[in-house]
Amino acid sequence: MNRLLTLLFCLSFIMMNAQESTFIHGKVLNDTVNVISTPYIYDQFTAYKASINVDIDDAGEFKAEVLIAAPTIVTLYYKRKTIDIYVEPGKNIGVFFDGNDMVNSIRFFEKDESGNNEVWQKINREAYPDDLGELPFDERFESINAIYDTEVANWKNIIQGSSLSDEFVSYMELYYQYEWLGTLARYVNVDSLSADNQTKFKGYFTDEIINNSNAMKHPKHEYFLYYFSLAHCEKALGRELNYYKDVGDIYACVKDFDELSPAKKSYALGKLLYFNIKPKTVGQFDTYYYDFINSDAPEDIVQKVKKRYDKAQGFAAGSAAPDFELVGKDGNKIKLSDLRGKKVYLSFWASWCGPCKYEIFNAKDNRAILNDEVFFVYVNLDNNKSKWQNHAVTTKESGTHVWGEGMNSKIARDYAIKTLPRNFLIDESGNFINKFPKSDTDGFVDFIRGR
């Protein structure tokens, strides 16, 4: 019987997370760039972000396909302007705008003539202030509650007379609720509140709220679960915890956290391992990793954690770096395996990544010093090739410059690039070296020459 229940639980979780195709059909007046981008979160658990470039045809029309498992926000990126739009799985949406003024001219055409996006564009969200952590706990509590009440009142006022889908109403209610509760968990120590506020605080975090299965696919639920679990463990262990340094303590604490349902617990534990298993740390968490993959966690999550572990092992010191062949700025093909005999400093960057560019510009002297000892290879991950070709990094900085064809390209997948900057050091035989200084630091030259 227990096996049957576990199987049914796993199957329901997998079905819940199956992506559906949703198409955004668009019409652009006065188009001059012939392309539009649609970045969005493809997988909530891994935080994998897909970014699709779609051609705009001569008639000004485009069609973008996004794969989503739940209602979410997709960004339209056009001429350095962005518009966030709300989309639901399997429900296509039409957009129309003037290329000279996308923000003010955009119009939406939704299934059943719902006005979801008309309302979404009107929402002027109250931001929780940056100085919350400086206030006394009772003031933090009252300030957070006041902002939440204002947001909910504004929402109710905006939607009066609007035709909205049930999914959108639910999405927004969960959005406000779990951001509010997550912010309370993040900033408020319940034991430091007045007696009345303690009672109110505890009353908010009911079992129905904590373990609402319908909320698991919502991005704000991620925020809530992270801070709620961390706050519980800090209270239980009597000290501040670092999500990336106290993995063992947090894992054991969450595993014993009886307030969480099996689904929420598996999700939190899997997420903790997924984001902490890296090439430099892959062997440190074996106890927790094997405990998790042999548990009753949903197979979908187990497989994602396993894949992360296997990928991290592939990047461990001494493992062979994935070979690649990319086009350089002079049109010639550059192959990693052809660079054997020298160390390779492989740096992934993009025009929008400030820290990436900072390091490249400031590594100029070290590149000159190590010119005969290290190949500096800069892989650009802009979706637009012309941005790479015309950028100052490509045109003015020394080193080998290649275009990696975007964040969703083969090389980005092979090197597990989720965020930038990302750098690798590869030895003369083509194997990874771990734990090295950045290329623009004083210790980089000594590190290279000391090996």
**pLDDT tens digits for 152-197?**
999 999 999 899 999 999 999 999 999 999 999 999 999 999 999 9
What is the predicted pLDDT for the residue at 17? 53
Average pLDDT, the chain: 91
Nearest to 288 by CA among 259, 263, 308: 308
Which helix or strand (DSSP H or E) is residue 66 part of?
A: strand 61-68
What tens digit of pLDDT does each residue of 57-95 get? Answer: 999 999 999 999 999 999 998 988 889 999 999 999 999
What is the C-alpha to C-alpha distance for residues 29 and 101, in angstroms, rounded to an integer? 10
Residues 6+ apart with CB under 8 A from 224: 178, 179, 181, 182, 185, 215
Q: Cα–Cα distances in Å, from 307 out to 261, 277, 293?
A: 25, 10, 11
Q: For residue 233, what are its two tokens?
A: 């463990």
Domains of the chain, start order: 18-117 (2.60.40.10), 132-314 (no CATH), 325-449 (3.40.30.10)
Does the pLDDT at position 210 exceed 80?
Answer: yes
What is the pLDDT confidence band of residue 303, given thresholds at 50, 70 and 90?
very high
Higher pLDDT, 418 or 375: 375
* pLDDT for residue 111: 81
Give residue 8's pLDDT. Answer: 38
13 has pLDDT over 50: no
Dihedral of CA 267/268/270/274: which sign?
positive
| 241 three-state secondary structure | coil
Q: pLDDT tier at 2 (50, 70, 90 boundaries)?
A: very low
pLDDT at 205: 97
Closest CA to 52 of 94, 32, 24: 24
The pLDDT value recorded for residue 3 is 40
φ, ψ dihedrals at 110, nearest 5° = -115, 160
Out of 5-19, 293-307, 416-430, the most confident range is 293-307
- Which comes out higher in pLDDT, residue 407 or 62? 62
| Residue 331 pLDDT greater than 70, yes or no | yes
